[in-house]
Amino acid sequence: MLKDSTLIFWFVLSILCLFSLSSQKSASGQATLASTPEIFRQYSEHVVRIEVVEIGSAAKASIGTGFYATQRGDIVTNYHVISKLIHAPERYRVEVTNAKGQTGVVSVAGLDVVYDLAVLRGGPPAKGFLKLETTQPQQGARLYSLGHPRDLGLTIVEGTYNGLLQHTLYPKVHFTGSLNPGMSGGPTLLQDGKVVGVNVATEGEQISFLVPVERAIALLEKTAQSEIQPAASFLTEVGRQIDAYQAAYLSGMFANSKPTVVLGPYQLPTRPAPFFRCWADALHRKELPYVAITHDCSTDDYMFVSSQQSSGIIRFSHHLFSTNELDPLRFFALYSAQFQAASVAATGNEEEVTPFRCETRNVRVQSGKLRAVLCVRQYVKLPGLYDAVFRAATIGSRNVGLVSTLSLSGVSFENVQTLTRRYMENIRWRR
């Protein structure tokens, strides 16, 4: 009995403890909740709704968010929010509506395609602006994101700061909170109202990304003195920025043969830079008379060029096929099918890219022979930039084959050739 009553005592005690903990938690929750309406009240008037209007129908084609960032009323938003204006200025205009409901047509003052930022000028009068300061919040710091999700009206979203992404070529803030379409270009603030970043992308539940505020500060400084230019002239600037970006990040890629991965009898390139992420898998099913092993690597950085086109991604993959059951003719039927183009998907439309043109050769590399194909297409509006797919299949073995694919987007033709060559050199047979 005594034992039972002791148990009951401890049980009651633990319930009480739990209750007190949860009440503490809700008290702190209330404290946060109390500040959120205050933050919204204080800062929402600096946030604007951005609408891209199709001139012919005078109807909105897309919407986004922006915020006043300077004394003179420069508005910061994402490049992707207003990209339609850059690509077809004759068909679109950009209208900005402030918190008071005043509306005005704005012009582009500057843009940063790599980081997906734009500065707009000439909208309705600003009452004030949000302060942009280089800050280093602690991981877990509370953040407040403002924007117009799905055009449902200005909304505030709470989340946490989770540092800068480690595996990207250029930094991005990892924001744990729900960003939704329409919030792009909106500010994400600390409790004191300092902007930490600009809403830019989401990768599903609670995983969102911000452009670091330093990039917005840099763009504002760069455009402070610049005159308003016609939107069409920015297309050349988009091309120039992508070209500079690819020239910088591709230099030296695949130049040395390390690191490598071994697949069957081959030694192949993998993770040529820290901003690549690689995955591997194997298809080993009883009903199939062959085994397929896959090794994929890809960059996470991509640039939004237009709604149909993104750029700046490098992907490569190695697919090893081997069999103990199939005779050479049947194995090569499999190998040919895997080497077919259908397994490489490409998107795009006629206004933005040309069709692909391909060159196929049997090529002698250091330790063997390859069937090599290079397919290239050009960006119509950004001359000098190309998408390319290089595919190679090893020749020689009767029951093992490797199909390796390198996909580049938004690179110069010289870089297409240089990287193709370096990549080919890195496909090696183990002796």
Interface residues with other proteins (CB under 8 A)?
90, 287-290, 326-337, 339-342, 344, 346-351, 353-365, 368-369, 371-381, 383, 386, 389, 393, 395-396, 398, 401, 413, 416-417, 420-421, 424-425
Of all residues in the chain, what percent are helix, strand and coil, respectively (each to 5)?
25, 40, 35
Shortest distance, position 335 Cβ to other proteins, whole Å: 5
Least distance in angstroms from the C-beta of 206 to other proteins:
34
Residue 208, both tokens: 């969102």
Please identify which residue in the block is written with the tokens 């009240």. Answer: 41
Name which of 2 and 329 has its Cβ closer to other proteins.
Answer: 329
Instruction: Determine the Cα–Cα distance for residues 104 and 119; give it in Å rounded to an integer.
Output: 15
Q: Which is nearer to other proteins, 16 or 358 (CB)?
A: 358
Is the CB of residue 210 less than 8 Å from the CB of residue 175? yes
CA–CA distances in Å: residue 333 to residues 139, 283, 360? 54, 18, 19
3-state secondary structure of 278: strand
Q: Kindly state the smallest distance separating residue 363's Cβ from other proteins, in Å.
A: 5
Q: CB 355: neighbour CB atoms within 10 A?
A: 10
Our CB check for other proteins shows the closer of 99 and 344 to be 344
Q: Amino acid identity, residue 263?
A: L
Tell the smallest beta-carbon distance from residue 199 to other proteins (Å): 31
CA distance 397 to 117: 51
Whichever of 43 and 331 has its CB closer to other proteins, that residue is: 331
Two tokens at 113? 């395609």
Comparison of 76 and 326: residue with beta carbon closer to other proteins: 326
For residue 253, the minimal CB distance to other proteins (Å) is 16
Whats the size of the chain, residue-wise?
431
**Dihedral sign of CA atoms 153, 154, 158, 162 in order:** positive
CB of 342 to other proteins, least distance (A): 8
| Residue whose CB is less far from other proteins, 364 or 431 | 364
Instruction: Enumerate residues 6+ apart whose C-beta is below 8 A from 135.
Output: 190, 194, 196, 213
Least distance from other proteins to the Cβ atom of residue 304, Å: 19
CA separation for the pair 280, 317 (Å, rounded): 9
Which residue's CB is nearer to other proteins, number 90 or number 227?
90
Please name the residues in contact with 312: beta carbons below 8 A apart, sequence gap of 6 or more: 114, 242, 245, 246, 249, 299, 301, 302, 303, 409, 410
Taking the complex as a whole, the smallest distance from the CB of residue 209 to other proteins amounts, in Å, to 28
User: For other proteins, which is the closer residue by CB, 252 or 328?
Assistant: 328
Q: How far is the CB of 59 from other proteins (least distance, A)?
A: 20
Residue 375 pairs in a beta bridge with 358, 389
d(CA 39, CA 301): 32
Structure tokens at 91: 């068909």
- Only one residue has tokens 């999700």, namely 149
State which residue, 302 or 332, has the beta carbon closest to other proteins.
332
